[in-house]
Amino acid sequence: MGKANTHCSGQTWVQYAGSFEDVRGPDYAYWVVAETDAHEGPVYVRDTNELYFTSVPAGTNIPITGFKEVAIRKVCFDDDNSVKTVRGRSNMANGMTMDLAGQLVICEQGSKTERARISRMNRATREHETIVDEWFGLTFNSPNDVVVKSDGTVWFTDPSYGFHQGFKDAPLIGNYVYRFCPSTGQTTVVADSFIRPNGLAFSPDETVLYINDSAAILGDGASYDVTMPHHIKAFDVLDGRHLHNERLFAVVSPGIPDGMKTDTQGRVYSSSFSGVKVYSPGGDLLGEILAEGVANFTFGGPENNILYMCVDNAIIAARLAATGAGDHNSPGICD
């Protein structure tokens, strides 16, 4: 067991290696940002000082339509942390990120009556458009998480959770990881070795892509099979487009990995049932920011050193010394 920290609000971190002190830093702090149904897709926008997120799925599984719904909301830090609804019906939105133009890129899982897709939403007008919604004419399963590389390509995971949770029809394609190139319109399967591919994140220099598998959660919200994958794999990225040298990076416990990020020093952050675990670039567990029930999280704040964690009934923040990787300053061109 590691070294633990306790505040008046309870224990907030556990340290397993001395280098975790470099992650926390001397100005570490931990607080509740807002009490709200924040579940997935957190994205911090620096120019407006806002945090976008997707809500906990609500509704009833009607046999014909499998209807459920998710809202896209935001926390407005310059307005006393008020929570505002941006899009009340979002086609079961899940993971989100920002593109090179500063617009919101959204994983829409779809339903039995509406196609799954990766979409783009203009933050000013709230208009949205399709980026990609098929692979060789076949509709996606339930797009789960997405990242935009510095060359503008869109990388996303597509597990079949929607089917197992009752709001999607049976899958037409496998549980794949995709790369979409906007300049060519080409969608390519880059990995097919996952049972439930979920979170993904590039290393700071984008030479390594981390992808986790959350198959230990079967999808019905109650079952957990410890013999199924709950790990992170690492791949080398060749020519900016191909994944090679698949290897195990870390097994995540308790629970499953879900959201995932890296910091500027190449450390890897993964959610688990107990909080956000922090790994060295070599896969050693350094410590954990405790936040029970966290599904997804992101770096944010003016210095990109605040970890915002969605725990279904609240958003919790931790100020660190580490800063998040992945800010894109200028668009590139994909081949």
Domain spans of the chain, in order of start: 40-262
Q: Which tops the pLDDT comparison, 6 or 145?
A: 145
**Residue 51: Cβ within 10 Å count:** 27
| DSSP of 154-214 | EEEEE-SHHHHTTSSPPPSS-SEEEEEETTTTEEEEEE---SSEEEEEE-TTSSEEEEEE-
pLDDT value for 331: 39
Q: Which tops the pLDDT comparison, 58 or 249?
A: 249
Average pLDDT over the chain, rounded to an integer: 92
Q: In whole angstroms, what is the distance from residue 262 CA to residue 203 CA?
A: 6
Say which CATH architecture domain 40-262 belongs to: 6 Propeller (2.120)
pLDDT-derived band at 57 (thresholds 50, 70, 90) equals: confident
pLDDT value for 220: 61
Q: What is the DSSP letter of 78?
A: G
CB 79 within 8 A of CB 68: no
pLDDT-derived band at 7 (thresholds 50, 70, 90) equals: very low
For the stretch 119-123, contacts whose Cβ atoms lie closer than 8 Å and that sit 24 or more positions apart, written own/partner, are: 119/91, 121/72, 121/86, 121/87, 123/45, 123/48
pLDDT tens sequence across 111-164: 999 999 999 999 999 999 999 999 999 999 999 999 999 999 999 999 999 898
pLDDT tens sequence across 61-77: 545 455 678 999 999 99
